[in-house]
Amino acid sequence: MIKIYHNPRCRKSREGLAIVEESGKPFEIIKYLENNLSRSELLEILNTLNINASELVRKQEAIWKSDFKGKDLTEEMIVNALLAHPKLIERPVVIYNGKGVIGRPPENISELLAE
């Protein structure tokens, strides 16, 4: 089953969801801003994407610029920031068959689902 970590207010996330819907495959929508991710869920996403926490951060968000930008942050500190401020998480994230992508650009999702 496909999992899409989705923010309905985000245009790119809505575009990603449309690609998932068009695939015809079963999927689950996880609205991570309404139901915060647990530490283990976030770490599992990072592991599946095979990226560092900093690569999942939306660096143009005001909270990142005001509280975190330019600081010497450890991986753990960035994970904690993402958990405390889920708005910082890039979106959408799509997981399928043990692999995952950040849906920016949305074509990443199409490529993942074609495998």
Report the catalytic residues: 10
Q: Which amino acid is at 77?
A: M
The answer for residues whose C-beta is within 8 angstroms of residue 70's C-beta and 6 or more apart is: none
> 44-83 burial, b if ≥16 CB within 10 A, otherwise e?
ebbebbeeebeebbbeebeebeeebeeeebeeeebbebbb
